[in-house]
Structure 1
């Protein structure tokens, strides 16, 4: 490990070829003493997926080696992952039982904008791939979330039928949203899944966390034993709160989740939630960010929290500074998460050394 492993948030970050790392909206998986960074390959002029999901490896988290395209888009017309689709926020987890690597991502079908709102799943035998696409779809069709077990479907149906009388963003409309109007609307076909992450808990259980209900409500859904499908058990978090970009971690028995508001590619103030159980209830707290541009998450948006040592409280906050006019030039914000009075704090610094977090 190099002693000068310096992280410089927001700057160009070259790989072993001298090329700016192209792994946006991604996450990092640790395998022994090697870290693997997976992310969206962004083209110069479009945010659509023209290549797929890229992979890089590192021993020190600063110097990264390009490992190639882990999941390639398809040239087959009509494929769910056809070149030109929207493929965002890929995350990879390892299943100890099957010894497979499982990738989850947000998928939008080519030419359909953001209407599909699907998850996608791919699997591989090796960390860097190649990954084989398994399926895409909506989440948990014909199943109610456990914290909305007995909704008044008659009232919700009547509300949905009152268009355009029932206007969006009115107090009455928002109250119906909180009661599950969009959950009911999507009940048969399954819940929408956009900005997403996956999380493996201490007991080996895995969870899919995603923005749903037109980005108005987060949902947390349990995955099955091989991590490739949902079990049907899920909850709604912060109904009507407009949260996306979830990043989750756990420290001293408390689950923490950092999110953003919904302002498209433009940055906004990060939010933070905590819970004693992943099923909630989740309590919202102020933004964890402090320093210049903290009210805009330093110009970025959360993508992942890398756990280096959960017991010792060593975590790295990962975010992207989006540049939709030149997507491949999007930058990365990596900052250490510190705890003050038991609460996570993310403080801006122009440069920091990550060796102390990597050392035992």
Structure 2
């Protein structure tokens, strides 16, 4: 799903009730203000993912600059901006973010290239492979009509990049659209993505080097029309939050739970609670961030899309709690 808009950038990092302390992970940012990096520039990292490595959080996201246009001939509001590549920011406190540069650069005037500015480069996620010593980025690669539907992969020797593009693939000859990436405690990694024209989710085991999909995969949430997956693990259980498919307009998030990442998955309700929970507080989930050294504490990271001016799209970060296996996300 791509969503409705708020005019200004909104990020909330609400106080999380950590065990043995009432301190927030970061001071609450005032509503309605632009979030700036440490150089004083607005953060530009949409559809984000976060990797924690050696005491540092690395934030990766889509760079959205330039004029928004509506792709003609589509049966949904297919708004686009030129693909700007993938940005990287770093932080040690989840409050102060340093711009580390363009982690994956786009190319210009090469329409056959996956990374051309006329293509779609979305939802980057990065994990580290201890065996190859490589940082591996997966992302959704597409054309403006969304019929290409492939997963792209890039690698780097350092977390901030630059990342070298390795190409794209349709896992097991299936569509890959909205996606996320998950590394389990045993070192195995998985792609979770919308497939089959967004009718069904797939969970696919990656090769040991994280560079290729294997033939081990399952179909979940069949015929449910879900997208924008975000996954995390708590006390041996896997939690998957997804959005519906309603173009850039907001809808209700839903989640599912499993004892094994390959299923079976048991569908649950909407994790969002309170006013505007039926439209995920006008956001769309992009990532759930486990807070380092705070077991059981998570941040739900969402995009607040401005569909007619995507460069001005906002963010919403909220604490996510788990009580007796039930997810709850509250807007303050």
Please name the residue that 1:13 is paired with: 35
8 Å Cα contact 1:309-1:315 kept in structure 2:
no
Q: How does 1:1-150 map to 2 (within 5 A)?
A: 5-7=27-29, 11-46=33-68, 47-75=80-108, 77=110, 78-109=112-143, 112-140=144-172
- In 1, Cα distance between equivalents of 2:237 and 2:313: 32
- In 1, Cα distance between equivalents of 2:229 and 2:44: 21
8 Å Cα contact 2:66-2:81 kept in structure 1:
no
Distance verdict in 2 for CA 1:302–1:71, change over 3 Å: same
Per-residue CA deviation, residues 203-245 of structure 1 (Å, 9 max, x unaligned), is: 0000000000000100000000110101110000111000100
Per-residue CA deviation, residues 317-352 of structure 1 (Å, 9 max, x unaligned), is: 111001121111111111111122331111112xxx
| Cα displacement (A) at 1:113 | 1.7
Please name the residue that 1:330 is paired with: 313
When normalised by structure 2's length, the TM-score is: 0.86
| Cα displacement (A) at 1:138 | 0.8
Please name the residue that 2:203 is paired with: 220
Please name the residue that 1:246 is paired with: 229
Which moves more between the two structures, 333-342 or 248-257?
A: 333-342
Say whether residues 1:321 and 2:304 are aligned partners: yes
- In 1, Cα distance between equivalents of 2:318 and 2:26: 16
Aligned residues: 298
- In 1, Cα distance between equivalents of 2:182 and 2:292: 15
Say whether residues 1:272 and 2:255 are aligned partners: yes
Residue among 291, 311, 315 paired with 1:308: 291
Residue among 160, 176, 192 paired with 1:193: 176
| Cα displacement (A) at 1:18 | 2.2
Per-residue CA deviation, residues 157-184 of structure 1 (Å, 9 max, x unaligned), is: xxxxxxxxxxxxxxxxxxxxxxxxxxxx
- In 2, Cα distance between equivalents of 1:276 and 1:311: 22
8 Å Cα contact 1:207-1:223 kept in structure 2:
yes
Distance verdict in 2 for CA 1:260–1:276, change over 3 Å: same
Task: Give the 3-state SS of the residue equivalent to 1:75 in structure 2.
Answer: coil
| Cα displacement (A) at 1:310 | 8.3
Please name the residue that 2:272 is paired with: 289
Please name the residue that 2:19 is paired with: none
- In 1, Cα distance between equivalents of 2:227 and 2:31: 22
Task: Give the 3-state SS of the residue equivalent to 2:214 in structure 1.
Answer: strand
- In 2, Cα distance between equivalents of 1:2 and 1:239: 39
Structure 2 stretches of 5 or more lacking a match?
A: 1-22, 69-79
- In 2, Cα distance between equivalents of 1:280 and 1:94: 25
Please name the residue that 2:7 is paired with: none
- In 1, Cα distance between equivalents of 2:309 and 2:213: 36
8 Å Cα contact 2:201-2:219 kept in structure 1:
yes
Please name the residue that 2:238 is paired with: 255
Distance verdict in 2 for CA 1:13–1:240, change over 3 Å: same
Task: Give the 3-state SS of the residue equivalent to 2:219 in structure 1.
Answer: strand
Say whether residues 1:235 and 2:218 are aligned partners: yes
Point out which structure has higher relative CO (alpha carbons under 8 A, 6+ apart).
2
- In 1, Cα distance between equivalents of 2:165 and 2:32: 32
Task: Say what the alpha-carbon RMSD is for the aligned residues.
Answer: 1.8
More helix by share: 1
